[in-house]
Structure 1
Amino acid sequence: MSSYDTYQTPLGSRYASKDMLSLFSARTRSSTWRQLWLWLAEAEKELGLPIPDEAIEQMRANLVVSDQAFDVTREFEAKFR
């Protein structure tokens, strides 16, 4: 289990259940956003926006955020923040 699978807070170990810590983890939150973006792209395509099928398939293939993606994001933010 990665650190991205557990919500990080000083009070979490004392007051939160494992299920709650998992529910609010960085991976779950980011993956939920990706699912929402996929649904939005599919709905926009149905309405006639020119979204390629390849783009939707790429989104579908990357719904769960990997540890490597978090590392790349952290490096990017450190560089440009």
Structure 2
Amino acid sequence: MDHDHASSCADYLERIVYFLDNELDEADVTAVRLHLDACGPCLAKYDLQRTVKALVARSCSEPAPEDLRQRVLLSIRQVQVRLSTEGG
């Protein structure tokens, strides 16, 4: 893969996330689709991203238990306090 092709792919790979979330305008959607039709490696990465996104969506259908939520919130607060004392 030459450098121009690699940089072109990098640009499309960045847009795949937005493509999956339906956050691109029509012109970008068309460009991404055309690139995916022509580029096997990018299509494989797109398929992987789509699969991971679907798996996460299925796995996150239930709310977290309240005790877990409280522990996570406590950890976030501790990090925020530590960062604010280190930065100030």
Q: TM-score if structure 1 supplies the norm length?
A: 0.29
Structure with more relative contact order (C-alpha pairs < 8 Å, separation 6 or more)? 1
Q: TM-score if structure 2 supplies the norm length?
A: 0.28
| Greater helix fraction, Structure 1 or Structure 2 | 2
Q: Which has the larger radius of gyration?
A: 2
